[in-house]
Chain A
Amino acid sequence: MLKVVHYINQFFANIGGEEMAHVPAEVREGIVGPGLAFQQAFGEEAEIVATIICGDSYFNENLEEAKQTIINMVKKYSPDLFIAGPAFNAGRYGVACGTIAMAVRDELNIPVLSGMYRENPGADMFKNSIYVVSTKNSAAGMRDAVKKMAPLALKLAKGEKVGASAEEGYMPNGKRVNFFEKERGSRRAVNMLIKKLNGKEFETEFPMPDFDRVDPNPAVKDITKAKIALVTSGGIVPKGNPDHIESSSASKYGKYDIDGIMDLTEADFATAHGGYDPVYANLDPDRVLPVDVLREFEKEGKIGSIHRYFYTTVGNGTAVKNSKAFAEEFAKELLADGVDAVILTST
Chain B
Amino acid sequence: MKLELGSIFIKDIQFAAESKVENETLYVNKEEVRQIILEDQNFKSADVELAKPGESIRIMPVKDVIEPRVKVQGPGGIFPGMVNKVETVGSGKTNVLKGAAVVTTGKIVGFQEGIIDMTGPGAEYTPFSQLNNLVLVCEPIDGLKQHEHEKALRFAGYKVAIYLGELARNLTPDVVETFETPSIIEGFKMYPELPRVAYVLMLQSQGLMHDTYVYGVDAKQSLTTMIYPTELMDGAIVSGNCVSACDKNTTYHHLNNPVIHDLFAEHGKTLNFVGVIITNENVYLADKERSSNWSAKLAEFLGVDGVIISQEGFGNPDTDLIMNCKKIEAKGIKTVIITDEYAGRDGSSQSLADADASADAVVTGGNANEVIELPPMDKIVGYADVADIIAGGFDGSLHADGSITAELQVITGATNEMGFNKLSAR
Could you jot down 17 A-B contacts, CB within 8 Å? A166-B424, A176-B343, A177-B425, A178-B366, A178-B408, A181-B422, A181-B423, A185-B422, A186-B338, A186-B420, A189-B310, A190-B262, A192-B336, A193-B335, A196-B361, A197-B305, A205-B364
| A172 to B348 alpha-carbon distance, docked (Å) | 11
B27-35, B351-359, B377-385, B396-404: which lies at the A interface? B351-359
| A7 to B232 alpha-carbon distance, docked (Å) | 60
Q: Which partner residue on chain B sits nearest A183 by CB separation?
A: B422
B365 at the interface (CB under 8 A from A): yes
Q: A-facing mask of B223-263, CB < 8 A → 1, else 0?
A: 00000000000000000000000000000000000110111
Residue in A188, A193, A194, A208 whose beta carbon sits within 8 Å of that of B359 in the complex: A208
Residue in B334, B343, B360 whose beta carbon sits within 8 Å of that of A204 in the complex: B360
- Considering residues A182, A192, A202, which has the most beta carbons from chain B within 10 angstroms of its beta carbon? A192
Knowing A176-B425, A190-B266, the reply to whether A208 touches B419 (Cβ < 8 A) is no
Knowing A192-B336, A193-B336, A205-B425, the reply to whether A177 touches B347 (Cβ < 8 A) is yes
A184 at the interface (CB under 8 A from B): yes
B24 at the interface (CB under 8 A from A): no
Size band of the A side of the interface? 35 or more
Question: What total of A-B pairs shows CB separation below 8 Å?
Answer: 152
Which residues in A have their C-beta under 8 angstroms from that of B424? 164, 166, 178-181, 185, 188, 205
Q: Which partner residue on chain A sits nearest B270 by CB separation?
A: A194
Nearest CB in chain B: distance from A201 CB, A: 11
| A196 to B408 alpha-carbon distance, docked (Å) | 31
- Do A197 and B306 touch across chains, with their CB atoms under 8 A apart? yes
A-contacting residues of B (Cβ < 8 Å)?
124, 195, 197, 258-259, 261-263, 265-266, 270-271, 305-308, 310, 334-336, 338-339, 341, 343, 346-348, 350-352, 355-357, 359-367, 370, 408, 416-426
| A190 to B261 alpha-carbon distance, docked (Å) | 10
Q: Which partner residue on chain A sits nearest B366 by CB separation?
A: A178
| A189 to B258 alpha-carbon distance, docked (Å) | 10
| A104 to B329 alpha-carbon distance, docked (Å) | 47
- Do A178 and B367 touch across chains, with their CB atoms under 8 A apart? yes
Q: B-facing mask of A306-317, CB < 8 A → 1, else 0?
A: 000000000000
Which residues in A have their C-beta under 8 angstroms from that of B334? 193, 196-197
- Do A185 and B336 touch across chains, with their CB atoms under 8 A apart? no
Residues facing B in A191-248 (CB within 8 A) are 192-194, 196-198, 202, 204-209, 211
Residue in B338, B346, B370 whose beta carbon sits within 8 Å of that of A189 in the complex: B338
Nearest CB in chain B: distance from A317 CB, A: 25
Which residues in A have their C-beta under 8 angstroms from that of B259? 186, 189-190
